Amino acid sequence: MSSKELEDKKTGTEGHVADTEIQIDVSYSNEGYSRAYGLKCDLNIWLQGVAIVLGQVQQELHPSRVEFATLALYAGLIFGATVTLFLAGVFGIAAGGAPNFITFASLEACLGFGLGG
């Protein structure tokens, strides 16, 4: 061990520095909170949610094949992705032929809607 590592062990400053860095990362700004919220609402949590409720759905609704619920979810994802890509493509091409800035900005906003999904 180096003398610096021994000093850190004695004083505990290494842990304090790490704790301070974590505090800064967590409470950096409102952007950090919106990113954390976005992660919670991410696709993965919905996929897990469907997987969790399938057993209860089978008990209560008595489907012939409960797996079709997952198939329906994936069909919706594919259709939604296709629609958003289509919207982005259409508005992106239209923005290329915009005659003025207001039209261009409006079409870019619609493009953003398509990209955002």
For residue 103, what are the CA distances in angstroms to 3, 29, 108? 65, 33, 8
Q: What's the whole-model pTM score?
A: 0.55
* Tens digits of residue pLDDT in 8-45: 555 555 555 444 444 444 454 555 555 555 555 667 77
Interatomic CA distance for residues 2 and 71, integer angstroms = 58
Interatomic CA distance for residues 62 and 87, integer angstroms = 38
pLDDT band with cut points at 50, 70 and 90 for residue 101: very high
Q: 69 and 88 in contact (C-beta within 8 Å)?
A: no
pLDDT of residue 117 exceeding 80: no
pLDDT at 49: 86
